[in-house]
Amino acid sequence: MKTTYHTIFIIFSFLFPFLLMGEDLTKEPSKQTSYFHTKEGRIAYLETGKGKRNLILLPGIGDRKESYAELAFLLEKDNTVYRFDLRGMGESDVSFSSYGPKETAEDILAFIREKNLQNVYVIANSMTAASAVYIRSKEKSRVLGLVLSGPFVRDKEPMSFGMKTLIHFVFRGPWGAGAWVSFYESLFPVHPPKDLKERSEKLKTNLKEDGRMAAVRSMMFASKKDCEDMLPLAKGNVIVIMGSKDPDFDSPKEEAQWITKTLDGSYKIYEDVGHYPFVEDPTRFFSDVKLLWQKN
């Protein structure tokens, strides 16, 4: 993450938590939610569509499977689409002993193997881009391609003790969920979606549930090293999609180029788009996703 940007945001949030608080909404009902059982808890997912390809959609830290709704609607016409909640997020359990990109990868690998899925493509955002790399490195015969948006696939500068302390204070307590949602909204710096406030309120309602912000904090501190080490084994048929205004990166284009070169892939830069290209421009994102199998 871009250290200066996050430092300013976190200090502001810590000093003025009352600006980030709001009323809860009634919890959004889940109509089609299924659960994959692991040794430590359940992982929630939605399965829609029917097709010869199996598409796995992974949200980033603090986000929910519902954020992929528009993209999933486009994809499910010709594919079987699985949208997941990460450990501790959405409707998944908070009973896990650890949270991070490798843990997410291990959950999805277990799912793929138990369901005996073939012809799999993984679409991942932010932290779970590292998870997608790990998944493909372990099951390249099943996982035929990746789309990585706003991707973090490597550890950069270590987080300072002061930053860790601030995060512990800001993203916990009665204002923790509101602080996270305020940060979430800042990741749409130019053209936020029209329903951003509705998305934010639903996200905040979910994050106020016991244990969810603890999971968020754990993911923020989790190392990507185990996933980064797998980069050489995940090469080929990878598309990196980056918003030119993604505030999580000092230079979104440079990071996209580095990942593309490392994974022998290609990249797309969406002008004036932030950290969630699949939310801001799902139609274009859908067209780019299809390039994965149109190449084969």
In the chain, where the domains are located? 33-158+180-294
- Which pLDDT value is given to residue 8? 42
Provide mean pLDDT across the span 28-53.
88
Coil, strand, or helix at residue 295?
Answer: coil
Q: What is the pLDDT of residues 119-143, one digit of tens each?
A: 999 999 999 999 999 999 999 999 9
Q: Count Cβ atoms below 10 Å from residue 4 Cβ, excluding itself.
A: 9
Find, among 288, 285, 265, 261, the residue nearest to 273 by Cα: 285
CA torsion 104-107-109-113 (nearest 10°) is: -170
Find the range with the poorest average confidence among 2-6, 68-72, 234-238, 285-289.
2-6
Give the CATH H-level superfamily of domain 33-158+180-294.
Alpha/Beta hydrolase fold, catalytic domain (3.40.50.1820)
Residue pair 5/247 in contact by the 8 Å Cβ criterion? yes
87/111 Cα distance (integer angstroms): 13
Q: What is the pLDDT of residues 146-192, one digit of tens each?
A: 999 999 999 987 666 666 676 766 677 778 999 999 999 999 999 99
Confidence (pTM): 0.89
Q: Checking DSSP bridges between strand 53-58 and strand 42-48, what pairing results, if any?
A: unpaired
